[in-house]
Amino acid sequence: MSKMNKTFKLVTAAFAAMVVSTSAAFAAGDLVKAPKQDWSFNGPFGVFDRASQQRGFQIFQEVCASCHSLEYIAFRNLTDIGFSADEAKAVAAEYQVPSEPNDEGEIVDRAAKPSDFWPSPYANAKEAAATNNGKAPPDLSLMAKARVGGADYIYGLLTGYEDHEGTPENLHYNKYFPGYYIAMAAPLSDGAVDYVDGTPNTVEQMAKDVSHFLMWAAEPKLEDRKSLGVRVMLFLLVLTFITFLAYRRVSKKVKGH
């Protein structure tokens, strides 16, 4: 009997733990549901806003790039968001990347070329972690696809910082971050960047622009994919119509016999 009681208690404890963890998971899931934004790339006919992308790149370059990498984007890819080849080349020239080993086996830095990928601000992962309280900042190349909510989540995270009593030391309260407390301080503030096109540089505008840019970084072929999808659907509609006409014609001949 005592063995049965012990088993019952273990099962009860396990069930209670499962309920608690499930409730926490649902709570965490609620936190990442940032307000949905009206993105130009939403919907089957959606396209990127080139002006917003370029402003978002400016935010990334002047604010985010000091801590975060963009390892899957090459400088030449900037031509996809409206920069000319010369402009992309000029941006690349501002950065240094490791060269191939010389005859003595030494690796020296050289000016980046358009074919080079965006360099990390750190020499290695250990340096990145040591510089940021023990945790390396994540690469942003695929962030818009890696987080539930995509661009909405990034926008919510950048605008979700609030003062909150009881926030642990070296952490910051963010109402859209799972667990509420995040190591990254609020990266944006009104007027942090002067837009070259004169767009108002509010936190909300800057968050929307950099979210737009990171959505492109995560899915640079989004417009091509949607365009192909529309063409395929039109082809299938025409094919269906032709098949229907052929069916009617054959059906009449069969009935005539």
Domain spans of the chain?
A: 47-65+130-220, 226-252
The pLDDT assigned to 29 comes to: 45
The pLDDT assigned to 92 comes to: 96
- pTM, 2 dp: 0.79
Return the SS3 of 172.
Answer: strand
Evaluated on CA atoms 153, 158, 162, 163, the torsion sign reads positive
The pLDDT assigned to 24 comes to: 42
The pLDDT assigned to 111 comes to: 93
Burial 53-85 (b: 16+ CB within 10 A, else e): bbbbbbbbbebbbebbbbeebbbbbbebbebee
The pLDDT assigned to 17 comes to: 41
Q: Around 57, how many Cα atoms within 13 Å sit in the side-chain half-sphere?
A: 23
Q: Are 89 and 78 in contact (CB under 8 A)?
A: no
Domain 47-65+130-220 classification at class level:
mainly alpha
What the block records as the tokens of 6 is 């012990």
Q: What is the block-wise mean pLDDT of the chain (257 residues), using blocks of 10 residues?
A: 46 41 43 83 94 97 95 96 96 91 78 95 91 90 94 96 91 93 94 93 97 97 86 87 86 73
The pLDDT assigned to 56 comes to: 97
